[in-house]
Amino acid sequence: MDVETINVEQNAVLDGDAVAVEIVTEVQRKEVLLKAGASQNAIIGYLLIGTDNTARKRAEEALRHQAEELRARNEELERFNRATVGRELQMVRLKQQINELCRQMDKPLMHRLDFLDAESQTSTAAETVRLKGESET
């Protein structure tokens, strides 16, 4: 005896409300001998189960909507972060340039940059010199 399972998702109306329904059907087939001597599969029974999936479908849609909102907010935060970090780095470079000009003029430094470690001060100063050279050409 063969058992065939069929799953179908469908929309239906229940008490005037649209609902999502999953229908699971199990069909039992058995080969039967016909009068002419030929055999054929005949349905000898079936089981039909209907399940209301409306709540699950609504929850899935809400999750998709929420994921899209989070993705959009994350992109906005990333853009803001790039802008603010870029601006802060530019401010540090400008303060370093001002301090370098103060050194060249034997005047006291105008900006404290001791929060930078020695390596980042060196690399930022080199970048400042490079940018200065590019702006003069």
Angle at 101 between CA 99 and CA 105, to 5 degrees: 115
* Model pTM above 0.75: no
In a domain? residue 116: yes
Domain with 105, as residue range(s), is 66-136
Do 45 and 12 reside in the same domain of the chain? yes
d(CA 63, CA 35): 58
Tens of pLDDT, residues 88-109 = 889 999 999 999 999 999 999 8
* Judgement on whether residues 77 and 132 belong to the same structural domain of the protein: yes
Tokens 């690399």, residue located: 123
* pLDDT exceeds 60 at position 37: no
